[in-house]
Structure 1
Amino acid sequence: MSADAPRQPSVVTVPLYQRKAEFFKTLGHPVRIRVLELLSDGEQAVAELLPEVGVEAAHLSQQLAILRRTGLVLSRREGASVFYRLTTPEVADLLAVARSILGTLLTDQAGLLDELRTDTGPTQRRS
């Protein structure tokens, strides 16, 4: 490399699987999931979200800020109210798929539990 050649900025690439893990980590909080579920039905004001989420305003604000920073929600101000909406309908789709997966898992677990309750197992011999 000659002294006159411009230096290339170093680009740090993060593997896709790591970005996915960070994305799912963002979803790993019950308040954030509840907010996203509520916003799946459409834009809502913070005042509408508060009673549905059941946390203090400061805590809700903190969780909304995380969702905003990660790009999952957008906000807009109208007078004294702040409204939030999903950035993309795929977020609602993802939550629906998660619900379906959980339903399947719970159904499978319920079936296994039923088997355990009805299965008497091998008979024990008494001498």
Structure 2
Amino acid sequence: MQVPLYQAKAEFFRMLGHPVRIRVLELLQHGPLPVRELLKDIDVEPSNLSQQLAVLRRSGIVVSVREGSTVSYALAGGDVADLLKAARRILTELLVGQSELLEELRHADAGGVPVPRGR
């Protein structure tokens, strides 16, 4: 039985739904990194990082390369970096909207007349 596309998308976003995984993907946008560098930049236990890297590797979003005793990780494709950029744009727009709403509320609390958004 084939999984509906919307369900596959939900599983994909659920897989991304961990702060350590997102941080790993952000760091790998700039190129492959050895695990020791990821550990230096992400404040987690080695076992936790290993677990999160395994999830990303099984999903096919990252690939690992072993060179001697060093294991490095890289994004499997550029689309992940595009997705992270899109998420930043969306969050920026949401935060701008929230700050405008907060300013309206502060103005109203100060006894002013609420000014409609966008004007």
TM-score relative to the length of structure 1: 0.85
Distance 1:99 1:61 in 2: 26
Q: What is residue 15 of structure 1 aligned with on the other side?
A: 4
Corresponding position: 1:103 with 2:92: yes
Between Structure 1 and Structure 2, the one with more helix by share is 2
Q: What pairs up with 1:1-127 in 2 under 5 angstroms?
A: 12-119=1-108, 120=111
Partner SS state of residue 55, structure 1: coil
Give 4+ residue runs of structure 1 displaced > 2 Å after superposition: none
Distance 2:28 2:8 in 1: 23
Distance 1:41 1:75 in 2: 15
Partner SS state of residue 72, structure 2: strand
Partner SS state of residue 30, structure 2: coil
Offset of residue 53 of structure 1: 1.1
RMSD: 1.0
Indicate the structure (1 or 2) with the bigger Cα radius of gyration.
1
Offset of residue 51 of structure 1: 1.4
Q: What is residue 9 of structure 1 aligned with on the other side?
A: none
Aligned length: 111
Structure 2: which 5+ runs fail to align? 114-119
TM-score relative to the length of structure 2: 0.91
Offset of residue 121 of structure 1: 6.2
Q: Kindly, what percent of the aligned residue pairs are identical?
A: 59
1:78-106 deviation digits (Å, cap 9, x = unpaired): 11110000001010000010011000000
Q: What one-letter code is carried by the residue in structure 1 that aligns with 2:53?
A: L
